[in-house]
Amino acid sequence: MVDKKLVAEKMIGDSGSIDLARVRLRTLILLCAAQILGGLSMGASLALGSILGEELSGSGSLAGVPTTVLTLGAAAAGLPLAALAQRRGRRPALATGLLIAACGAVVVAVAVDTRWFLLLLIGMAGVGAGTAVGLQARFAATDLSAPTTRGRDLSLVVWMTMVGAVAGPALIPAGARVAAALGLDDLAGPFLIGAAGSLLAAGVLIVGLRPDPLHLAGSTRESADDTTWADVVSGIRRTPRARAAVATVVSAHAVMIAVMALTPVHLHHGGASLTIVGLSISAHLAGMYFLAPVMGVSADRFGRVQTILAGQAILVIACLVGFLGADSRPGLVAALILLGVGWSASTVAAAALLTESVDVAIRTRAQGFSDTVMSLAGAVAGAVAGVVVGAFGYPVLVLGSAAVAVVTAVQVGIDGRPARWNPLSSKDMCA
């Protein structure tokens, strides 16, 4: 196995001019700034996607389709962006995804103004590339990290997503004023603000992310042509802890998307205003990101698997609160917050677990594969959630989601058992 840290130190020693600690800190700051700006379009899409889907399609059963397409867009972008990072580095990969997201947000704004459902879906697919960038940015934060701080560094980037993601729904009134000034539909404005944020984020990375952390880490020196996606899947399947990590992100994201996507519609049908809906999603996103650093430190200190299992337990509690409080606005908001906290604990710890569990030769692509299957699971969950709620009601949706979290916890407890005793094994320390 190639020692990533030693390769980086050798490169730095050869150049005689690079301070690794300074580059690591600068990289984290730039990634955090990009997460803040890029999160604006994601927040608006999550808050308004299901509402726009119902309004533009004229069918409640299609309310979850825009969110599904959003996650499909993230899934479609995940593998190509990971391959681009493997060949060229993090900077071109992340910037490319953000530029695609900016174009997608503009397309969504046009679709809202013209009331064109198909165009809305096309734009949402583009916005999904920004979601893929957000996922890969957290892995970029670990490129130069020590094993004992990997969870913390990863979680700091996840944490910064909160600012843009929470601001996105909160900027719905401001977006309406922007749209009014341009003569557009009120709900087109938030996506124009999101497009501007994505463009600025791309600019920050293009200009500032030099040297590229993946180049410094030496991972781009591994031959991209010698590693196939079959090798990546095989490597994950052969490693129990990697299987546990991927199972966790898939399950946690599916549960989160299913419940989150349809709760705004459930609130809206209950008489909640768009402002209340937007604030409820902001509260949910705060739950997802506000405690991320705590989850990262917990994963570093107490173990990846232990933190994952705690996250799964919180997801179950969130679903039960949603079931018991289905007719209560405060109850639904509480469920959304807990849903976000459970997602955060599960995905932060799982991302760190995956990074340290696979060989460096396939690490970048394994991360992209994980992001892709995570997004695909979210897409399926978003689509199924609309059908389930339409046929059986919201309470059935949240109970079914709780069952998924329970099954995942059992699998993680089995596959991740070695981490119970030593969350940072000897292999981790040289990866």
pLDDT in tens, 366-383: 999 999 999 899 888 877
Which range, of 138-152, 176-190, 243-257, 279-293, averages the lowest pLDDT? 279-293
pLDDT at 266: 75
Quick check: 159 and 73 in contact, CB under 8 A?
no
pLDDT at 405: 96
Residue 48: inside a domain? yes
Alpha-carbon dihedral 66, 68, 74, 76, rounded to 10 degrees: -110
**CA 75 to chain CA centroid, nearest Å:** 11
Structure tokens at 319: 């679903």
Distances (CA, A) of 16 to 6, 9, 19, 90, 144: 15, 10, 9, 23, 18
Residue 6: inside a domain? no
Distance CA 66, CA 124 (A): 6
Residue 373: inside a domain? yes
* Cβ contacts of 244 within 8 Å, gap of 6 or more: 305, 308, 350, 353, 411, 412, 415, 416
Q: Token pair 């970048």 is at which residue?
A: 364
407 or 290, higher pLDDT: 407
Residue 8: inside a domain? no
CATH number at residue 58: 1.20.1250.20
Distance CA 110, CA 129 (A): 18
Structure tokens at 153: 């560094």
Residue 358, CA atoms < 13 Å, CB-side half-sphere: 30
pLDDT at 173: 84
Domain that holds residue 244: 16-430
**Per-residue pLDDT band at 428 (split at 50, 70, 90):** very low
Residue 315: inside a domain? yes
pLDDT at 13: 43
Tell me what the mean pLDDT of segment 259-275 comes to: 75
Task: Encode burial over 51-89: b for 16+ CB neighbours within 10 A, e otherwise.
Answer: bbbbebbeebebbbbbbbbbbbbbbbbbbbbbbbbbebb
Q: Token pair 């978003």 is at which residue?
A: 382
Distance CA 418, CA 305 (A): 9
Residue 396: inside a domain? yes
Judged against a pLDDT cut of 80, whether residue 288 lies above it is answered with yes
Residue 231: inside a domain? yes
**Per-residue pLDDT band at 11 (split at 50, 70, 90):** very low
pLDDT at 418: 57
**Per-residue pLDDT band at 49 (split at 50, 70, 90):** confident
Residue 11: inside a domain? no
Quick check: 131 and 74 in contact, CB under 8 A?
yes
Distance CA 96, CA 315 (A): 33
pLDDT at 294: 95
Distance CA 309, CA 322 (A): 20
Structure tokens at 411: 């699998």
Tell me what the mean pLDDT of segment 230-252 comes to: 94
pTM of the model: 0.80
228 or 396, higher pLDDT: 396
Domains of the chain: total: 1
